[in-house]
Amino acid sequence: MSEESIFTNKVKDLYKILCQTEWNATVAGILVGLFSVLIMAWWRPWGAVGAIRNWGDWILYGIAHFSGAEWGFFGEFYDEAPKGILMNSGSVIGIGFVAGAFLSACLGNDFAIRIPPVLEMCKGIVAGILMGIGSTLAGGCNVGGMYNAIGNLAANGFTMWAGLVAGVILGLKYIYWEMEHISWGSGGARTIDFPYAVKVILGIITLAVLIWGANKYAVADSDYVASLCGILVISAALGYTMQRGRWCMVQGFREPHMTGDCTLAKSVALSIAVVAVGAAVLKYEVPMRADGEPVLATINYVRGTFGWGSIVGGFIFGFGAMLAGGCGSGTLWRVGEGQIKLWLVVPFFGITNSIMTNYFRDMELEASGKLGSYVYLPDVLGYTGTIILICAIMALWYLVVTWNEDSGKLIVEM
């Protein structure tokens, strides 16, 4: 074999590793943690709800604008246009994330328009509404309310966690029941696939648009808009990584109770520990750096939902995510993969979250402590205590799920 063909083979192997094979869960978990810390260092933590709510705001504003509806919440909250989807940092995170997932799905030949059976579409709508309610109560979805909340050393992340576990178990029981009792709506499934060459071209176009978009943001006059360049790129990296690793948090919560498999549970635990250490570095007031000003305000992503808000919210969100087959982030990368069921989840998630968030803000439910309290863990335990607590809980979770993988004690039987 000539040296050139050896090199060509190595290039092909590299392409396969980067773009086609499924990434190992541990690698994906560490990368997601790394990108989560990077986007925090850049500007702000990422989340799925910020995007989904902004899109929901636009849907409701559109309805109010074109139908002239002024009754109830339409007149109260939607008479003025929300911030543009390309100008709101939350929305740009969502767009970058979906684009990254789409790019990965195209290059890996996973993309296809997948139209699910009718029952699944109905479940998607109900799931979207439940996830909208849950994420409002908890102050975020599994990302902003749990993953990045614990990562940002906020106590409300742990309470949402507890709610999520209970919601996921109930959701699993419901699905078992549904398989026995509901036979309606199993028809209508269709898959529209495209030739691989078309997907590769779509992928290259997406990549080009991402690069062009980031550079366009970078030269904007407004500081806010100029900062969006890194947000777009890092969130695309998150979407790419999660699709390539099929990294789904709700699966991490569900699998130990469904099949006993704990691959993703372990990966999520590791990833949270990575983010927590990163956030401690960014939020710590290092005396030598910038006169002791922390890079990130300590209150960033600490929500006033440490209490019943995040427990009940997590429960409703977890149940909804089971019906959807994806959590906040899992829903978005599956959107990029062409799963129509998740395309239905997003608008209903967004509309519900938008309306509820506006009412909650209007009535100052979070600020007045009705949903729970704001607890930044280092204020209570110090940084040492907080990092020890987070790592200890992740280690405990690791032990529980690996013990369960062999003993099967936590598996919910059919």
Partner 1 sequence: MSDIKQAPDGLEVARTLDAKGLSCPMPLLRTKKEIEKINSGEILEVLGTDPGSRNDIPGWCSRSGHEYLGEKEDSGFIRFYVKKK
Non-local CB neighbours of 384 within 8 Å, separated by 6+ positions:
none
339 is a contact residue toward partner 1 (CB under 8 A)? yes
Identify which of residues 26 and 227 has a Cβ nearer to partner 1 in the complex: 26
Identify which of residues 34 and 344 has a Cβ nearer to partner 1 in the complex: 344
Identify which of residues 18 and 63 has a Cβ nearer to partner 1 in the complex: 18
Burial class (CB in 10 A: 0-12, 13-18, 19+), 71: exposed
Q: Which element (helix H / strand E) includes 395?
A: helix 377-407
Alpha-carbon distance 270 to 244, whole Å?
18
To partner 1, the closest distance from the beta carbon of 17 in angstroms equals 11
266 is a contact residue toward partner 1 (CB under 8 A)? no
289 is a contact residue toward partner 1 (CB under 8 A)? no
To partner 1, the closest distance from the beta carbon of 93 in angstroms equals 23
191 is a contact residue toward partner 1 (CB under 8 A)? yes
Site for partner 1 in 102-121 (CB under 8 A): 110, 112, 114-117, 120
130 is a contact residue toward partner 1 (CB under 8 A)? no
254 is a contact residue toward partner 1 (CB under 8 A)? yes
Q: How many residues bind partner 1 (CB under 8 A)?
A: 36
Question: Which stretch in 7-15, 184-192, 229-237, 296-304 sits in contact with partner 1 by CB under 8 A?
Answer: 184-192
Identify which of residues 393 and 412 has a Cβ nearer to partner 1 in the complex: 412
To partner 1, the closest distance from the beta carbon of 189 in angstroms equals 2
* Tokens of residue 16, six digits: 């396969």
Asked if residues 257 and 172 have their Cβ atoms less than 8 Å apart, the reply is yes
Alpha-carbon distance 331 to 342, whole Å?
6
C-alpha distances (whole Å) from 55 to each of 58, 244, 345 are 5, 25, 12
To partner 1, the closest distance from the beta carbon of 316 in angstroms equals 19
Figure out which of the listed residues 8, 9, 21, 215 binds partner 1, where binding follows CB under 8 A. 21
| Full DSSP string of 22-62 | PPPHHHHHHHHHHHHHHHHHHTS---SHHHHHHHHHHHHHH
Q: Is 373 helix (H, G, I), strand (E, B) or coil?
A: strand
To partner 1, the closest distance from the beta carbon of 251 in angstroms equals 7
Sign of CA dihedral 120, 122, 124, 127: negative
* Region label for 195, one of left (φ > 0), alpha (ψ between -120 and 50) or beta (otherwise): beta
Q: Could you tell me whether strands 190-192 and 113-115 are parallel, antiparallel, or unpaired per DSSP bridges?
A: antiparallel
Non-local CB neighbours of 21 within 8 Å, separated by 6+ positions:
none
Figure out which of the listed residues 35, 341, 356, 371 binds partner 1, where binding follows CB under 8 A. 341
Per-residue contact track with partner 1, 22 to 41, x per CB under 8 A? x-------------------
260 is a contact residue toward partner 1 (CB under 8 A)? yes
How far separated are the first and last CA of the chain, in Å rounded?
A: 55
Identify which of residues 57 and 405 has a Cβ nearer to partner 1 in the complex: 405
337 is a contact residue toward partner 1 (CB under 8 A)? yes
* Tokens of residue 352, six digits: 């519900």
252 is a contact residue toward partner 1 (CB under 8 A)? no
320 is a contact residue toward partner 1 (CB under 8 A)? no
189 is a contact residue toward partner 1 (CB under 8 A)? yes
To partner 1, the closest distance from the beta carbon of 349 in angstroms equals 16
Amino acid at 239: G
Non-local CB neighbours of 201 within 8 Å, separated by 6+ positions:
none
Q: Could you tell me how many residues make up the chain?
A: 414
Identify which of residues 284 and 398 has a Cβ nearer to partner 1 in the complex: 398
Site for partner 1 in 367-406 (CB under 8 A): 405
- Residues making contact with partner 1 (CB under 8 A): 21-22, 110, 112, 114-117, 120, 175-176, 179, 188-193, 246, 248, 251, 254, 258-261, 263, 325-326, 334, 337, 339, 341-342, 405, 414
